[in-house]
Structures are given as structure tokens and as C-alpha cells.
Structure 1
Amino acid sequence: MPYLRVRIASSDQKRVTTTQVAKMLTDLAVTKLGKSASDAAVDVRFTDPDNWFIGGQPVSQNHATSFFIEIKITASTNSRTDKSAFVQAAFDGMSKLFSNISKTSYIVLHDVASDSWGYGGKTQEYRYITGDKEV
């Protein structure tokens, strides 16, 4: 049950759609982290590259694209290797979608305690204890 929030500063917004970004990240959550595609939520937002700064300079100055991806996953459900593979694949995936990706683009995985989040009114801890997989 991952939740992904994505911010992208790019002038390629007309060429790359939010749907393309969401699909790519959902696929990676499934293939790299073993998450359920049907429970993955992705929020994609484009930001004006004139308002995104790296080293005090707007990314638009170099016609670059930069991004910040954060994903919340249930703690202890993925190994360091899984997480590393996701980070690399997400960076590579964004690099395929957008031209001139800045290396100063971030991907953050948040491990959230199973008793501290859930969906459908039930925590992940409850689902684990009861074996409840109902959405």
C-alpha cells in the first residue's frame, strides 16, 4: 500500500504526462518493492522550473529537470537492497521520461510503522494480525 508524492520541475510538462509518471512509479513499486498496484496511490505535481532552485539557480536556467519523489511504505516490509533498487530504477525511469535530469533530484523512502497508517479504516498492523486483505 504505497503512497507516492512526486514534484517535478520541468519544461517537458507538455511532452510528459502525469499519467506516464504515475504508471512508471506504480510499476516500480510493484516490481522493485513487491507492492500491490491496486493499492498504490500516486500524486504527481508539476512545478514551474523558474521556481525550483539548485545551488541558488533556477533549473530553467540550464533547461534542466529536477524532481522529488517520496514513497511511504510499511516499515520492515522491504530490504535495503529492495529500496536501493527502487531508488536507482526511479531515477532511471525519470531520466527516460524527461530530458536533462539534474543529478540533484531526490528519492526518499519513508518506513512508516504498521500501527501508524492504513487504508479503508484499518491499520496495516490490524491487517497483519487478522490476515485481513480486504480493501
Structure 2
Amino acid sequence: MPGIKLTVSGNGDTGLSEHLATEVSALTCSVLEKELGKTMVVIRYIPPEQWFIAGRSLASLGKNSFRLEVTITEETNTKGQKAEYQRQAFELLSTLIGNVHPHSNVHVIDCAATSYGYGGLTQEYRYQRGG
């Protein structure tokens, strides 16, 4: 049940958002072995004048950027899977967004099964009940 939050520099673009959501979901489900039917994506845009790296706005740097945060249940993925996800996600988003600052980043967030869930039930509860 990954929760994906993608922040992208620029102005909102419905077509780009749909494409990003589709591609990031597919990558997440493939590399981290998650179910697409239980994947949530939220995309937001920040104007380049309001995004700063090393004290300079992206607008002044002439660059784009992203921050990808993927929340997963703790102990459901190996270090190797997360490292591969980091590599592939950075490559994918660099290609889709273009001209990205190297400080754009991917953050895989491991949450305890007792603290993470959906539909009012924790992942631990689902695990204990076999579902």
C-alpha cells in the first residue's frame, strides 16, 4: 500500500500529472513489488521562484526539481530494492521532467505496520488477519 507524494517545480499541468502518476505508480509497483490497486498518488506543483537549493531559486538556476516521497510498510522491502528504486525513480523523473537539478531527491519512508494503514485498519491488523 504505497502512498506516493510527488512535488514538482513548475505550474500545474493535468496531462503531465496523469503521466507522472501512471509512470511513478508502475515503477513503484514493479521495483518495490506493491499492488497497483492499493497505490495512492498525490502530485503538487511549486513555482520555481519559490523552490530554493543552496539559497538560490530554481528560476535563477534555470533548473527544474522534484521531491518524491514513497511511504511503505516497514520491513516489506530490502535495502537492495530501495537502492534500485532510488536509481530508477531518479532516472525516470529526470527524463519525464527534464533539466533537473542534481539535488532533486527520492525519499522512501518506512512506517511501522502498527502506525500505517488505510480504510481505518493498520497494516499490522491486516497481517494478523491474513489479509
Q: Same fold by TM (over 0.5)?
A: yes
Q: Distance in 1 between matches of 2:98 and 2:124?
A: 41
Aligned residue number for residue 90 of structure 2: 91
After superposing on structure 2, the runs of 4+ consecutive aligned residues of structure 1 that deviate more than 4 Å are: 13-16
In the alignment, structure 1 residue 19 sits paired with structure 2 residue 18: yes
1:83-122 equivalence runs, <5 A: 83-122=82-121
**TM-score, normalised relative to structure 1:** 0.91
Amino acid in the other structure paired with 2:2:
P
Q: Distance in 2 between matches of 1:124 and 1:86?
A: 22
Q: Name the count of aligned residue pairs.
A: 131
Q: Distance in 2 between matches of 1:126 and 1:43?
A: 25
Aligned residue number for residue 7 of structure 1: 7
1:66-85 equivalence runs, <5 A: 66-85=65-84
Amino acid in the other structure paired with 2:21:
A
Aligned residue number for residue 39 of structure 2: 40
The answer to whether the 8 A contact 1:16-1:98 is kept is no
**TM-score, normalised relative to structure 2:** 0.93
Q: CA RMSD in A?
A: 1.5
- Residues 59-84 of structure 1: CA distance to partner in whole angstroms, max 9, x if unpaired? 11232111111111000000001001
Q: Distance in 1 between matches of 2:92 and 2:10?
A: 15
Q: Distance in 2 between matches of 1:2 and 1:55?
A: 30
Amino acid in the other structure paired with 1:9:
S
Which runs of 5 or more residues in structure 1 are unaligned? none
1:57-68 equivalence runs, <5 A: 57-68=56-67
Which runs of 5 or more residues in structure 2 are unaligned? none
Give the 3 Å change call, closer, same or farther, for CA 15–92 of structure 1 in structure 2.
farther
